[in-house]
Amino acid sequence: MRKRLLTAVLSVILFAIIFSWFFFVPSSQREPNVYYFGFSETFVFVILYAGPVYLLAGFPLSIFIDKLVAKFHRTSKWKRYFFGLGLYSLAGTLVGALLLIILNQNANLSDVIPFSICCLVASNLYYHLLLLVSKIDLVLNNRCSFVQEE
């Protein structure tokens, strides 16, 4: 649970940074008399909107997906990795599509696809950060148990 919560917080922050950087418009490229969000404003809005989605939808889906992937413990690491990657990608895409459809009943396919791609990126970011946090946790736990044995 602790790893998932840490991963969700890190994912939200990193996703907000990436999103804000990607959609930032430099002053030299801005149209006159048009308001553009700054980097920090976009960052805060992304955290406010993506944070609850990560925690309310991503957290339970992550537990479910990891239980499915764990059933393949006898297969190679690469098969488990790609199976998990596919499931996290599917979950991110579906959550994005459903969220947009629920929030905007007038959404058409040209609206759903970019939003779903954005959510796919967010879910894959979470998956890879979860793998990284799990690996770091494993290394630290092994190091602590080695120190205690001495």
Q: Which domain does 101 fall in, by range?
A: 2-149
Distance CA 19, CA 21 (A): 5
Residues in the chain, total: 150
What residue ranges of the chain have pLDDT lower than 70?
A: 143-150
The structure's pTM equals 0.83
Instruction: Name the CA radius of gyration of the chain, rounded.
Output: 19
CA atoms within 13 A on the CB side of 75: 12
72-109 residue pLDDT tens: 777 788 888 999 999 999 999 998 888 888 887 777 77
112-118: which pairs have CB atoms within 8 A and are 24 or more residues apart?
116/92, 117/93, 118/19
Distance CA 126, CA 84 (A): 12
